[in-house]
Structure 1
Amino acid sequence: MTFAPLLALAVEEAEHHGNVALETVGYGLVALTVFGVLALVTASYRNVANRHAHKAEAYARAHANDVQQAGHGH
């Protein structure tokens, strides 16, 4: 056999008839799950500062004299 028939046989074997979309659904489900978990983690940090507002106010009152008032953050 020459190279051309061998190549034709290899192409026939490599070709398959299936639904490629169904073969890749798993990747989409994994990505959707990962992004869903990341969204839940992000949402869990909502309003954290307000949960401890009383601590922040107490700290600001206790250390009000420690802050130097200088222009432009210097």
Structure 2
Amino acid sequence: MTFATILVSAAEESHGNVMLETIVFPIIAISVFALLGLVTLSYRHTANRHAHKAEAYAKSHAKELEQAGHGH
């Protein structure tokens, strides 16, 4: 069998719809990205949940926070 006849016989074979055979991969990718999006959204407003702690820290360390800056 020559190389040309191998190519012709390979081209004649019908594999069906390739997208239907590989539909699992896009489904997995979409699922992973959706899961990562949900994880990201779960961290929204976490700083606001502890605003009272931040205010208490700022009041107790007012002098240190005033001295801190770009020029120290």
TM-score, length-scaled by structure 2: 0.79
Identity of aligned pairs, percent? 50
Determine the C-alpha separation between the residues in 1 that align with 2:19 and 2:41: 32
Structure 1, unaligned stretches of length 5 or more? none
Q: How many residues align?
A: 68
Which of 30, 48, 52 does residue 32 from structure 1 map onto?
Answer: 30
Determine the C-alpha separation between the residues in 1 that align with 2:25 and 2:38: 20
TM-score, length-scaled by structure 1: 0.77
Q: Could you say if the C-alpha distance between residues 6 and 44 of structure 1 is closer, same or farther in structure 2, counting changes exceeding 3 Å? A: same
Structure 2, unaligned stretches of length 5 or more? none
Structure number with the bigger relative contact order (C-alpha 8 A, sep ≥ 6) is: 2
Where in structure 1 do 4 or more consecutive aligned residues deviate above 6 Å? none
Q: Could you say if the C-alpha distance between residues 54 and 15 of structure 1 is closer, same or farther in structure 2, counting changes exceeding 3 Å? A: farther
